[in-house]
Chains A and B, each alone.
Chain A
Amino acid sequence: MYSDKVMNEFKKPKNMGKIENADGIGTVGNPVCGDMLKVYIKVKDNKITDVKVETFGCVSAIATSSKATEMVKGKTIEEALELSKDEVAKELGGLPPIKMHCSVLAIDGIRKSIEDYKKKNKKQ
């Protein structure tokens, strides 16, 4: 069902865990399958210096969490916001059609964490 790239990413996922005193946190849930994902970011000079993720989800959700966070690490906020689910899927050698929504979850999590960061920063 899954490509080797997906399986390898799943077996050794990167950026798993949480960041204490994160600058932004994004929690997203997937009502379809009851899955949940939480993204933590550290931002410095408009750049994402560190990112971590906690994932309750399937193989594809874990693999895309890992890949998507890897892809935004070191990027500027604007660059990170441009990352699409298709780019993540492509980087993983494709996802089964029924599993495309899992990659949306990761993207949404990252976007939400950035929103959260922006909101917090406005106040200060």
Chain B
Amino acid sequence: MEVYLDNAATTPMRKEVFEEMEKYFFQDYGNASSLHLFGQKAFEEKENAREKIAKLLGVKSKEIYFTSGGTESDNLALKGIIQKSNKKKVIVSAIEHPAVLRTAEFLAKQGKKLSVIPVNSEGIIDLNKLKKEIDSDTALVSVMHANNEIGVIQPVKEIAELCMEKNVLFHSDTVQTIGKIKINLKETGIDLASISAHKFNGPKGIGAIYIKEGTPIEPLIHGGGQENKLRSGTENIPGIIGLSKALELSLKNIEEEQKRQEELRNELIKFVLEIPKTRINGTYEKGKRLSNNVNASFYGIEGEALIAFLNEEGVFASTGSACSSKSLKASHVLLALGLSHIWAHGSLRLTFGRQTTKKEINYVKEKLPGIVEKLRKMSSIK
């Protein structure tokens, strides 16, 4: 059996999405900037897609800009805003994705000011600290909507209100929520939001950013002036079509799908907690966590070893443990929750998708306890 439970990393593309994209490779392959019929067709399809996406997110077409994905959108938001502003400070949460954290650190190195706001043990940002940190020199606050490791959802509406009061811009990395939760961006009050298609069964290498009308921002990529001069480069039409189709499909029966995954998640969380010396990382209070995320830690075992044994059994998961990735530091997210290094190293992230079945979760339940026991037997930490 092969069970893919790493949908926070990426998702399989839907057949319907591919079918929708196909003709833009072979037939309608025009450059949207060309003046002839082929170009016009491409231009129209691109604008139709933009309109569809905008509608689905409750915003205006001209507030959506296509990019190469979440990372670029995050970079554009932070660098683009700070460059255009006469204020110097950027505020981010401690659990941001590297696409935001590293960008913010880069800006700090360039002479800007950076403030990092902690989260509590449940993974929720400290709003009081945030409030205190926003001063007259603050240009931008960037707090992600849902975290990619623990799936905890931040109170973005309250953050947006706070930012509005203090007259600072608010960017939210919504890469893990758009396509998974129904969101009306206008109503949330976010000024900039990052979108990535491959997280909701769309193609890789395409994304978008919502930028509220009138927000002063400098481009990241200069050139031919595409995307209303904000993002140059020949538009990725098949990708754009794929993004809009994937978003449309994923929002179609989203409540039902969310409920289905939530049931699976709660069941798995309950099961995992029955294994001794185990914890769930981040709150799982209703409504405060993505319905597709389980992040557990097993005391005394190391994440990479756990992943490797699961891999042998055909279960594909991920870990926040340092020893598994290219860096050796334990997950900054788990450490921010206050976990000790031992707990942080023993983490396992299982993230579901539309294709995930109850049978697959049962298979995981069958395999997981034995692997944990085997590794604990070997371990020097009891």
Q: Which residues in A have some Cβ–Cβ distance to B below 8 Å?
A: 7, 10-11, 13, 16-17, 27, 32-38, 54-62, 98, 101-102
Contact in complex: B324, A27 (CB < 8 Å): no
**How many B residues touch A, CB cutoff 8 Å?**
25
Q: Shortest Cβ distance from B303 into chain A, in angstroms? A: 8
Name B259-305 residues within 8 Å CB distance of A: 300-302, 304-305
Query: Contacts A11-B312, A57-B305, A57-B323; is A27 near B380 (CB within 8 Å)?
Result: yes
Q: Give Cα distance in the complex from A16 to B309, angstroms.
A: 16
Residue of A nearest to B344 (CB): A34
Contact in complex: B380, A56 (CB < 8 Å): yes
Q: Give Cα distance in the complex from A58 to B326, angstroms.
A: 13
Residue of A nearest to B327 (CB): A98
Can you list 28 pairs linking A and B with CB atoms under 8 Å apart? Answer: A7-B308, A10-B305, A11-B312, A13-B378, A16-B378, A32-B328, A33-B323, A33-B329, A33-B341, A35-B345, A37-B380, A38-B380, A54-B379, A55-B378, A55-B379, A56-B342, A56-B380, A57-B305, A57-B323, A58-B302, A58-B305, A58-B321, A58-B323, A58-B324, A59-B305, A60-B323, A62-B305, A98-B328
Q: Give Cα distance in the complex from A61 to B306, angstroms.
A: 13
Choice from B326, B330, B378 contacting A34 with Cβ under 8 Å: B330
Query: Contacts A33-B328, A35-B323, A36-B380; is A56 near B341 (CB within 8 Å)?
Result: no
Q: Give Cα distance in the complex from A26 to B328, angstroms.
A: 23
Q: Give Cα distance in the complex from A61 to B323, angstroms.
A: 9
Q: Shortest Cβ distance from A5 into chain B, in angstroms? A: 14
Q: Give Cα distance in the complex from A80 to B330, angstroms.
A: 32
Q: Which residues in B have some Cβ–Cβ distance to A below 8 Å?
A: 300-302, 304-305, 308-309, 312, 321-324, 326, 328-330, 341-342, 344-345, 377-381
Q: Shortest Cβ distance from A111 into chain B, in angstroms? A: 16
Kindly list chain B residues whose C-beta atoms are within 8 Å of the C-beta of A27.
Answer: 380
Kindly list chain B residues whose C-beta atoms are within 8 Å of the C-beta of A55.
Answer: 378-380
Query: Contacts A58-B323, A59-B308; is A34 near B342 (CB within 8 Å)?
Result: yes
Query: Contacts A32-B328, A34-B345, A98-B328; is A59 near B380 (CB within 8 Å)?
Result: no
